[in-house]
A and B are shown apart, each in its own frame.
Chain A
């Protein structure tokens, strides 16, 4: 299994807030070493590898997670789902709902 995390690098060279939070959390959980590759999607560099991956997988926000296993590739845009399904981590419903809402701001309008 190969796990790639695509993070967003802002124009000022710092990570976007969610990418930074995810990396902090992976460190806290002791899972950072199980990530095979971190790829940057650079805000002011449309040719960056991370932007190319976002385009390839039709993803419009960072971070996202690519899990390759044999011939299959799974792309997770939800961090907590990735944690739950790949690392069997316990995730609270509060955290899941908060992330779903953050990624889908229009849900509040349903």
Chain B
């Protein structure tokens, strides 16, 4: 299927999440919602009001909170969907744990563990799809998500032979809008949110934060900020675009 993703991203930039979700579900058969067990649950609720049969997957890293596992089952029953749980390769987890123990991320950083428990299974799953839908929002991280479009080619997982499209229907919604939707539509949610968690991931790598702390401070708090040394400064790109370079 040939879609002009840049054009679609512009056309849908200011549309409602439901319209973006409908576009995604209409255009692709091999498409699935990625459900992390957090606020992205509203994507499932929205999808259920668009069509009866849609696909959802979650990655079980093996280190999730009990509350998250409970929500996964609750969502499966509430919406009557065959929620697919994707697991990491057991041999890779066994090797990591055998060599480095169960908490190597506190010492070596989270990338290795996330790579094995989350990114590899995600890549394996995405290889079976043409598109996926995430709950990523701009307000979740001013440094890394401030410019995410509502639809994009997923450069990380695409190959020359297999383009994968990523839809981010909630990109322009705030946390407040998400929670208003949850309350108004009586959407099941992770009870960790009632205990002070605003960002939910694996249990050892997630903590509650204080008022006015950004939700990114709730994850991997022992590590330094993202290395941005190789990025192009936005001001440079804007100044170039304004004609300075031509």
**A interface, CB within 8 angstroms of B:** 8, 10, 16-19, 41, 43, 46-48, 51-52, 54-55, 58-63, 74, 77-78, 81, 85, 93-94, 97-98, 100-110
Task: Report B1-37 residues with CB < 8 Å from chain A CB.
Answer: 6, 34, 36
Whether B226 lies near A105 (C-beta < 8 A) is: yes
User: Which residues of the partner chain A approach B118 to less than 8 Å between Cβ atoms?
Assistant: 107-108, 110
Residue of B156, B227, B233 touching A107 (CB-CB under 8 A): B156
Q: Within the complex, which residue of B114, B155, B232 is in contact with A51, where a contact is CB–CB below 8 Å?
A: B232
The 7 tightest CB contacts between A and B, nearest first, are: A46-B239, A47-B245, A16-B230, A46-B236, A18-B230, A97-B115, A100-B156
Task: List residues of chain A with CB within 8 A of the CB of B236.
Answer: 43, 46, 51
Q: Report B58 CB to chain A, min CB distance, Å.
A: 10
Chain A proximity of B82: nearest CB distance (Å): 20
Contact call B230/A106, Cβ cutoff below 8 A: no
Chain B 56-86 interface 0/1 with A at a Cβ cutoff of 8 Å (1 = within):
0001000000000000000000000000000
A46, A51, A100, most chain B CB atoms within 10 A: A46
Q: Verify A46–B141 contact, CB threshold 8 A.
A: no
- Whether, in the assembled complex, B160 has its beta carbon less than 8 Å from a beta carbon of chain A, the answer is yes
Bound-state Cα–Cα, A55 to B241, Å: 7
Interface residues of B, Cβ cutoff 8 Å to A: 6, 34, 36, 59, 110-111, 114-115, 118-120, 122-123, 134, 136, 140-141, 144-145, 155-157, 159-160, 199, 201, 219-220, 226-227, 229-233, 235-237, 239-241, 244-246
The CB with the most chain A CB atoms within 10 A, among B120, B160, B229, is that of B229
Contact between B240 and A107 (Cβ–Cβ < 8 Å)? no
A8 close to B232 (CB less than 8 A)? yes
Q: A60-B232, A106-B145 are in contact. Are A46 and B36 (CB under 8 A)?
A: no
Contacting pair A110 B232 (CB below 8 A): no
> Are A46 and B244 in contact (CB-based, < 8 A)?
yes
Name the one of A46, A52, A93, A103 contacting B120, with C-beta atoms under 8 angstroms.
A93
Q: Which residues of A contact B115 (CB under 8 A)?
A: 94, 97-98, 101
* Residues on the B chain within 8 Å of A109, using CB: 36, 136, 140-141, 199, 201, 219
